[in-house]
Structure 1
Amino acid sequence: MRLRKGKRQKADHGPEADHRPGVSAATSGLAVELRDVRRRYGRGAGTVHALSGVDLALPRGTFTAVMGPSGSGKSTFLQCAAGLDRPTAGSVFLGGTEITGMSEDELTELRRSRLGFVFQAFNLLPSLTVEQNVLLPMRLAGQRQDHRRAAAVLAQVGLADKAGRRPGELSGGQQQRVAVARALVASPDVIFADEPTGALDTGTAAEVLGLLRNAVDRLGATVVMVTHDPVAAAWADRVLFLADGRFADRLERGSAQRIAARMTALTAGTAPVDAMAGAAA
């Protein structure tokens, strides 16, 4: 099955693109792009506008954290960006491929072959071994199961000696490492992480975030992480803040303290909406 290709963004995006989060004029390609994406649920007086015209362009090989108050649209953003939900309007591109309007079969193929996922709940299959869980994306995509590749990614996450174990025999932190290895095994265009450290203690969370950071810095991966934790967000290259279904603020390479302060301002309604160009600090 052949996926339809969208137009890739040019290296020089022009002055208008400077107002969108994550855009770099020196970027040779974009990993994730959303154009005026909207998502609403319900009808009439009960309509909920979860996303209200989101524009986003993220270069390849970057680590982006997305934060926002409860109900700001974080989960809806991730689901639309990853092809897990369909926007009501607008366009989504992953690795230059427009996924808007794809059939369910095409979306399933894309997710299995070109995307990686890390969830708070790990989502490992208890009946499979660690190695089998890591190789599951390849198996589901109909690809040859590369045991050497599985061994390599398990070594990268420090679990080279756990390949034959079952998830129930591992700690929570080790299970999340398996989930990271599973996300990396097919060298995906983008890894989407949804609260990946929400169920972990502080020390174990730092280990998992270090693995995601290493995947970007040493393996050239692209990571998009939704989180409520300023400490987790501080591992990212940039933090984008959602409010009322729109990106309201951004911070480049911020410390946990500065990120927490921006979140406090956003929750209090004092952060400048649509101030993306001037928000970097």
Structure 2
Amino acid sequence: MNTRQHSSAEALRLVSVRKVYGSGDNAVTALAGVSLSLSAGTFTAVMGPSGSGKSTLLQCAAGLERPTEGQVFVDGTEMTGGGEKALTEFRRERIGFVFQQFNLLPTLTVLQNVTLPLKLAGRRVDRDRAVEILRRVGLGDRLERLPAELSGGQQQRVAIARALVTSPKVIFGDEPTGALDTRSAREVLALLRGAVHTYGQTVVMVTHDPVAAAHADSVLFLADGQIVGHLANPTAEAVAERLTHLADEVAARRGMAEV
């Protein structure tokens, strides 16, 4: 693992990241040289039309996939390079995940699910801290419940608590509200925003929902594997308008390419 340092106030940096699937005539470029820098303690939404590369961007930034080219730095340390074991350890130390599917183990209690990342990383399990995080997300009275005994919104709160317990440098969310009803989605987004603004956490969230994106500090727009826009202090209306224009531009470009 390369330990060259960037500024510690920078939570995430991508430098000319390309991701190509397949080879030869079957090659598909999902990311076409993306560079970005996100400061610590920020909440960023990533949006774009279907096939824009937003999920691939998240997976490469989070170390779930290796870029074909380019570098990824988390908290100033380069993640790209090194073997699978080193990459797994890096993710466990510095990265948290919240997915659309909650990915809780059905035979473990709420508290056991939350402390599992600490056990997997070989770190001391601080039960009091885990309980405090669960209280913070409104589940202090559900510690011994199994996932099946919880609502979808409650299960996603467990997933957020699990992501927070290791004190990661960046939490990545992949459509974290996609499986939730409107009220539960709003509560989960408020929790993520609270983690950023109260505890200085850094959150990067892929979403297709302008209302969800409006909870972020800023929105990055992708199209055809490239960053094509940025919106600070987003509103749902402004995000929806930008997405509509972007979809029209992409369709027009693709139409011209086929002529």
Cα separation, 2, equivalents of 1:169 and 1:4: 44
Could you tell me how far apart the structure 2 residues matched to 1:134 and 1:78 are? 23
Task: Determine whether 1:155 maps to 2:127.
Answer: no
Question: For residues 188 and 267 of structure 1, do their structure 2 counterparts lie closer, same or farther at Cα, with a shift above 3 Å needed?
Answer: same
Q: Which residue of 2 aligns with 1:213?
A: 193
Equivalent in the alignment of 1:277? none
Equivalent residues of 1:150, 1:185 under 8 A apart:
yes
Gap runs ≥5 in structure 1: 10-27, 274-281
Contact map agreement 2:96 2:163 (CA 8 A) in 1: yes
Contact residue 115 and residue 130 of structure 2 kept, 8 A: yes
The Cα RMSD (Å) is: 1.4
Letter in 2 for 1:7: Q
- 8 Å contact from structure 1 (residues 6, 93) kept in 2: no
- Mapping of 1:1-281 within 5 angstroms? 3-9=1-7, 29-269=9-249
Q: Which runs of 4+ in 1 moved over 4 A?
A: none
Residue type matched to 2:108 in 1? L
Q: What is the alpha-carbon distance in structure 2 between the residues aligned to residue 4 and residue 156 of structure 1?
A: 36
Q: How far apart are 1:114 and its partner, in Å?
A: 1.4
* Structure 1 residue 144: Cα displacement: 1.1
TM-score (norm 2): 0.95
Secondary structure of the 1:145 match is coil
For residues 166 and 88 of structure 2, the distance between their equivalents in structure 1, rounded to whole angstroms, comes to: 15
Q: TM-score, normalised by structure 1?
A: 0.88
Code of the residue aligned with 1:125 in structure 2: it is L
Where does residue 278 of structure 1 map in the other structure? none
How many pairs align? 252
Identity %: 62
| Between structures 1 and 2, the one with greater helix share | 2
Gaps (5+ residues) in structure 2? 254-259
| Secondary structure of the corresponding residue to residue 75 of structure 1 | helix
- For 2:171 and 2:3, the matched residues in 1 are separated by 20
